[in-house]
């Protein structure tokens, strides 16, 4: 299967590459999130072009973009909006916040307290917000892309589990390769460097791509494989995963199975197929599961990450179980 939209997707990735070097993996996951209506959490040290990539992608997709810098003094009304009094009309009016955009970048989302982070919950899950006594539907498509820094923990607040679960995937953004680093250095050391990107995909294209992804077939055996992977995080002892059982406090939620199904179908579509392979599920499982598995203190003491746990589960659970 190779439709008109596959060529547009390739062109979109190429346009982003004019500005951002060596982050193909991140761009791929951002597109998958957009095409499947799944919010994305980006985690990585500063300087890895997370904000630049999201900003550039919004231009390539010709979507409305808003960036919210999360700080300790941010208020919920700064995110969703508030009621203001119009003295000329002697009445209250609604001033909509930056969440009213197609792509919302929540930069350093863990730097604001829980009540501000909670302001995003209704928007992320219901695609709507309530201001005063009125509920407003958000623009379509709507995607929240959040960034957080795993190293600098001073002045940060951990995201509530309920909000973490709303993110379809958590992407670990890594350092560039030597060649990519060299190219970045050459570009940025040239103070006259600038790259213009062209809009490639329209809103109508995105909705059509969603319809095509929805038509991608997944067999019942692979659906059951996803369920087995999910249950292996909840009851690892039942699957002979004694080591993992000693580290997992809570397994993944039902949202994980839904997200993995959608992500696998999108991954197959991006490869030009209208059917899902086991490799598609394995490729997406780490990004879908890693932020949903809650580990105990023993895992932290033994320096075991949720990514390690997911990889062990993928190695141990057979496809035809």
Instruction: Tell me which CATH homologous superfamily contains domain 4-204.
Output: P-loop containing nucleotide triphosphate hydrolases (3.40.50.300)
Domain extents in the chain: 4-204, 216-316
**259 band by pLDDT with thresholds 50, 70 and 90:** very high
- Position 12 pLDDT exceeds 80: yes
**154 band by pLDDT with thresholds 50, 70 and 90:** low
Number of C-beta neighbours around residue 92 at 10 A: 12
Is the pTM higher than 0.85? The answer reads yes
Q: Class of 216-316 per CATH?
A: mainly alpha
Question: Maximum distance among all alpha carbons in the chain?
Answer: 71
Q: What is the pLDDT of residue 164?
A: 86
More confident residue, 132 or 227: 227
Mind listing the pLDDT tens digit for each residue in 292-305? 999 889 888 888 88
Percent of the chain with pLDDT over 90: 31
Sign of CA dihedral 258, 260, 261, 263: positive
Average pLDDT estimate for 154-172:
81
Sign of CA dihedral 69, 256, 286, 151: positive
- Position 129 pLDDT exceeds 90: no
- Position 262 pLDDT exceeds 90: yes
Q: What is the pLDDT of residue 319?
A: 84
Mind listing the pLDDT tens digit for each residue in 93-119? 888 888 898 889 988 888 887 788 777
Sign of CA dihedral 74, 75, 79, 83: negative
More confident residue, 154 or 146: 146
How far is 13 from 22, CA to CA, in rounded Å? 11
Mind listing the pLDDT tens digit for each residue in 235-249? 988 888 888 888 888
Q: What is the mean pLDDT of the chain?
A: 86
Sign of CA dihedral 250, 254, 256, 260: positive
Q: Is residue 35 packed enough to be buried (19+ CB in 10 Å), middle (13-18) or exposed (0-12)?
A: buried
């Amino acid at each position: 299967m190779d439709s008109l939209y596959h060529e547009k997707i390739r062109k979109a990735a190429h346009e982003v590459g004019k500005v951002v070097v060596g982050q193909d993996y991140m761009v791929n996951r951002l597109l998958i999130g957009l095409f499947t209506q799944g919010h994305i959490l980006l985690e990585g040290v500063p300087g890895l072009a997370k904000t630049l990539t999201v900003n550039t992608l919004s231009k390539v997709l010709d979507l409305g973009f808003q960036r919210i810098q999360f700080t300790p003094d941010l208020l919920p009304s700064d995110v969703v909006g508030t009621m203001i009094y119009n003295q000329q009309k002697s009445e209250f009016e609604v001033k909509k916040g930056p969440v009213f955009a197609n792509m919302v970048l929540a930069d350093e989302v863990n730097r604001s307290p829980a009540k501000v982070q909670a302001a995003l919950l209704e928007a992320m899950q219901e695609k709507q917000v309530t201001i005063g006594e009125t509920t407003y539907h958000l623009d379509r498509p709507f995607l929240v892309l959040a960034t957080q820094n795993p190293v600098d923990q001073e002045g940060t607040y951990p995201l509530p589990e309920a909000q973490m679960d709303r993110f379809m995937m958590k992407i670990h953004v890594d350092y560039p390769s030597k060649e990519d680093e060299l190219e970045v250095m050459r570009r940025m050391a040239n103070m006259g460097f600038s790259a213009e990107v062209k809009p490639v995909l329209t809103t109508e294209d995105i909705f059509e791509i969603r319809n095509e992804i929805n038509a991608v077939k997944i067999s019942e055996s692979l659906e059951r494989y996803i369920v087995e992977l999910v249950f292996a995080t909840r009851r690892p002892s039942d699957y002979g995963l004694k080591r993992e059982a000693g580290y997992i406090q809570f397994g993944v939620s039902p949202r994980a199975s839904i997200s993995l199904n959608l992500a696998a179908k999108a991954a197959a579509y991006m490869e030009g197929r209208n059917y899902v392979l086991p490799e598609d599920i394995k490729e997406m499982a780490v990004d879908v599961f890693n932020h949903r598995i809650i580990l105990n203190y023993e895992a932290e003491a033994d320096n075991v990450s949720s990514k390690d746990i997911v990889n062990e589960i993928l190695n141990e659970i057979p496809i035809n179980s």
